[in-house]
Amino acid sequence: MADLFAGLSTSHVPAIGAAIDLGKTREPYWQPVFQGYEFAKRWIDEAKPDVLILVYNDHATAFSQELIPTFALGCAAQFPIADEGWGPRPVPVVEGHPEMAAHLAQSLILEEFDMTIVNTMDVDHGLTVPLSLVYGQRQAWPCKVIPLAVNVIQYPPPTANRCYRLGQAIGRAVASYPEKLRVMVWGTGGMSHQLQGPRVGLINKAFDQRFLDLLIDDPEALTRITPLEFLRESGSEGIELVMWLIMRGALSAKVKTLQRFYHVPASNTAVGHLILECQSPGGRAVQ
Ligand code: DHB
Ligand code: FE
């Protein structure tokens, strides 16, 4: 059986990708940001996940106003790197895992989560920046990636509760996958930030730290946060934190915190990063 052994969450700021690609990680502004990922870089080489289910949001890159799936599950064998306006990032193409993705689609849809099956999708900074932060610069990504894109661009976004329940269903789906694979779920985006309007630049450290505390020890409490509360407390783009709830839902009820990092500033965003290890095998196979 596949083993969902840990989860990881991180912000996915595009300027972090540019700092990596342009060799600026040791500059004084960026050094404290990248220092927070040194543990992840060492740990991932030991943990060696075979497959990542990488929950992120597309930023009007693969999707546009023409088509806005709430939950888009990438079922392709490959996902090209998107051109977000200045050429595709110089990172390896993302290799999918069509067999496990098909199993996830089957399991989740029969559990009444209406996933959109996506067979062609370019992936943007929401997916590639976290890979670069954790794996650094490589010739090829050392694992398969199943992208799960969540709509947080066009209102209404899915609720925190719906996202957490989807995560739990992902945990069950992975636990019923017959191949012996080491699987992680990653949640990207957040933490507090606002890129538009009169409150542009908003950061709410108290909200972010409380979110980290509760995500680890009492994630059910976070499922009651409404989209309006995310908007008010964490800025217009803070809603990206619902992706962290999908990650957390997939893990065991009790988790061990292997890494917790929080840093301001990085571009317009409060950067948060967690690595959480499951304390019972198989994610949430038995509820
Ligand atoms: C920034 C953060 C994001 O999450 C994003 O998608 C785009 C920009 C920023 O902080 O600049
Ligand atoms: Fe974003």
Q: How far is the CA of 264 from the centre of ligand 1 (A)?
A: 13
Among residues of the chain, what percentage have pLDDT more than 90?
97
Active-site residue identified among 12, 59, 125, 273: 125
What pLDDT score was predicted for residue 280?
85
Provide the pLDDT for residue 213: 98
Give the pLDDT mean for 224-237.
Answer: 98
Q: Is 58 in the pocket of ligand 1 (CB under 6 A)?
A: no
Mark 117-126 as b/e (b = at least 16 C-beta within 10 Å).
Answer: ebeebbbbbb
Percent of the chain with pLDDT over 70: 98
Residue 180 Cα to ligand 2 midpoint, Å, equals 33
Average the pLDDT over 81-102 and give the result: 98
The residue whose CA is least distant from atom 2 of ligand 1 is 13
49 lines ligand 1 (CB under 6 A): no
Task: Check which CATH number belongs to the domain holding 16 and give it.
Answer: 3.40.830.10
**Spatial CB neighbours of 228, under 8 Å, sequence gap ≥ 6:** none
Instruction: Locate the ligand 1 atom nearest the alpha carbon of residue 269 and give its number.
Output: 10
DSSP structural state of residue 280: S
Instruction: Give me the domain span that covers residue 36.
Output: 3-278
**Total domain count for the chain?**
1
Q: What is the mean pLDDT of residues 15-37?
A: 98
pLDDT per residue as tens digits for the range 204-220 = 999 999 999 999 999 99
Enumerate the H helices of the chain as residue ranges. Answer: 14-21, 31-35, 38-47, 98-110, 125-135, 160-175, 205-217, 219-222, 227-234, 242-250
Residue 281 has pLDDT above 80, yes or no: no
Given a cut of 50, is residue 72 above it in pLDDT?
yes
Whether ligand 1 lies within 6 angstroms of the CB of 89 is answered as: no
- Kindly state whether residue 37 falls inside one of the protein's structural domains: yes
- The per-residue pLDDT for 282 is 56
Residue 10 lies in a domain: yes
For residue 245, pLDDT beyond 90: yes
The pLDDT tens digits for 106-151 are 999 999 999 999 999 999 999 999 999 999 999 999 999 999 999 9
Centroid of ligand 2 to alpha carbon of 25 (angstroms): 20
DSSP label at 61? S
Active site residue 125: yes
In the predicted model, is pLDDT for residue 236 greater than 90?
yes
- For ligand 1, say whether the CB of 204 is within 6 Å of any of its atoms: no
Dist. CA 59 → ligand 1 center (Å): 9
Whether ligand 1 lies within 6 angstroms of the CB of 269 is answered as yes
Judged by phi (left if over 0) then psi (alpha if -120 to 50, else beta), residue 87 lies in left
Looking at the domain assignment, is residue 201 inside a domain? yes
**Nearest residue (CA) to ligand 1, atom 5:** 13
In a domain, 182, yes or no: yes
Q: Has residue 267 got a pLDDT over 70?
A: yes
In this predicted structure, what is the pLDDT of residue 285?
Answer: 47
Residue corresponding to tokens 């543990």:
39
Residue 285 lies in a domain: no
Q: Residue 286's pLDDT is what? A: 45
The partner residues of 196 in beta bridges, in order of sequence, read none
Instruction: Give whole-number Cα distances, 171 to 24, 82, 230, 281, 284, in Å.
Output: 37, 29, 25, 10, 5
pLDDT at residue 261 is higher than 80? yes
What does the pLDDT look like over 171-192, one tens digit per residue?
A: 999 999 999 999 999 999 999 9
Average pLDDT rounded to a whole number, residues 23-41: 98
pLDDT value of position 54: 99
233 in Cβ contact with 180 (< 8 Å) = no
CA distance 183 to 162: 22
* 284 within domain boundaries: no
pTM: 0.97
Asked whether 66 and 106 are in contact (CB, 8 A), the reply is no
Q: Could you identify the atom of ligand 1 that is nearest to the CA of residue 11?
A: 4
If you take atom 4 of ligand 1, which residue's CA is the nearest one? 13
Burial of residue 27, with CB atoms counted within 10 A of its CB: 0-12 exposed, 13-18 middle, 19 or more buried: exposed
The average confidence (pLDDT) of the chain is: 96
Residue 72 within any structural domain of the chain: yes
Q: Is the pLDDT of residue 284 over 90?
A: no
Please give the distance, rounded to the nearest whole angstrom, from the Cα atom of residue 12 to the centre of ligand 2. Answer: 6
286 part of a folded domain: no
Q: Is 103 a catalytic residue?
A: no
